Amino acid sequence: MSYKDLSAAITDIQIRNECTDVVYPRVSGLPDDAVEDKINRMIQERALAMIPKEGCGVYQEIKGVYEVTLNDRGILSLKLNVYSIRIHAANGIDEQRSLTVNLETGKEYRLYDLFKRNSDYKTVISNIIRKQIEERNIPLIKEFSGIDDFENYYLTENALVIYFQEIEFTPHYVGIPEFPIPYSQIKNLIRVDGPIARFIKM
């Protein structure tokens, strides 16, 4: 099977108790069972790590959802979101994590894996994000100092999306700020053997 025809079947796994309702995805239908198991372990570990350990003794609600943002050409990208609010708290908090993997090999792609070595991608992307902050009038609680090699992100058919956690750079009411960066803006920085190259004409 060519990677161009490879995608995963997705089903829901649910964790429920008196204060918890968390749903995360499970993949199936991949040609390699070991790769499938590896990807499912990664997804499960990431989802479980987001559920507060104190449980219902401390939290009145823990709710988790997911979104598959890309599942095509041998690449799976998804984001997990868990909202939790402590008992008697006025506000809860959202946490978002993501995962981008190769469905043939099980390799997880970090942000730096997407770009050519020695490319100045961090400066380019940081400048794009700064411009979006200004254009979208996004309020900051501290200065945006730029991205690092391990920044949180996910992929769509057309864009790399960088995001930050609540109250990392922005006030609580802003939620999780996301910054879509069209592939056309970073085309010259993309690794030809990386996942983005499968979705653009190099």
Are 65 and 11 part of one and the same domain?
yes
Confidence class of residue 93 from pLDDT cuts 50, 70 and 90? very high
Are 80 and 178 part of one and the same domain?
no
Are 103 and 125 part of one and the same domain?
no
Are 40 and 98 part of one and the same domain?
yes
pLDDT digits (tens, 9 = 90+) for 142-188: 999 999 999 999 999 999 999 999 999 999 999 999 999 999 999 99
Answer with the one of 108, 138, 157 that is the final residue of a domain. Answer: 108
What pLDDT does 5 receive? 85
144: CATH: 3.90.640.20
Q: Which residue, among 190, 10, 28, 52, has the nearest Cα to 111 in the 3D structure?
A: 190
Answer with the one of 108, 138, 164 that is the final residue of a domain. Answer: 108
Q: Which residue, among 28, 64, 33, has the nearest Cα to 49 in the 3D structure?
A: 64
Are 79 and 173 part of one and the same domain?
no
pLDDT digits (tens, 9 = 90+) for 40-64: 999 999 999 999 999 999 999 999 9
Rounded-to-integer distance, Cα 174 and Cα 154, Å: 19
User: If 0-12 CB within 10 Å is exposed, 13-18 middle and 19+ buried, where does residue 199 land?
Assistant: middle
16: CATH: 3.30.565.40
Sign of the dihedral through C-alpha 155, 158, 160, 161: negative
Rounded-to-integer distance, Cα 34 and Cα 36, Å: 5
* Residue 184 domain boundaries: 110-202
Number of domains in the chain: 2
SS3 175: coil
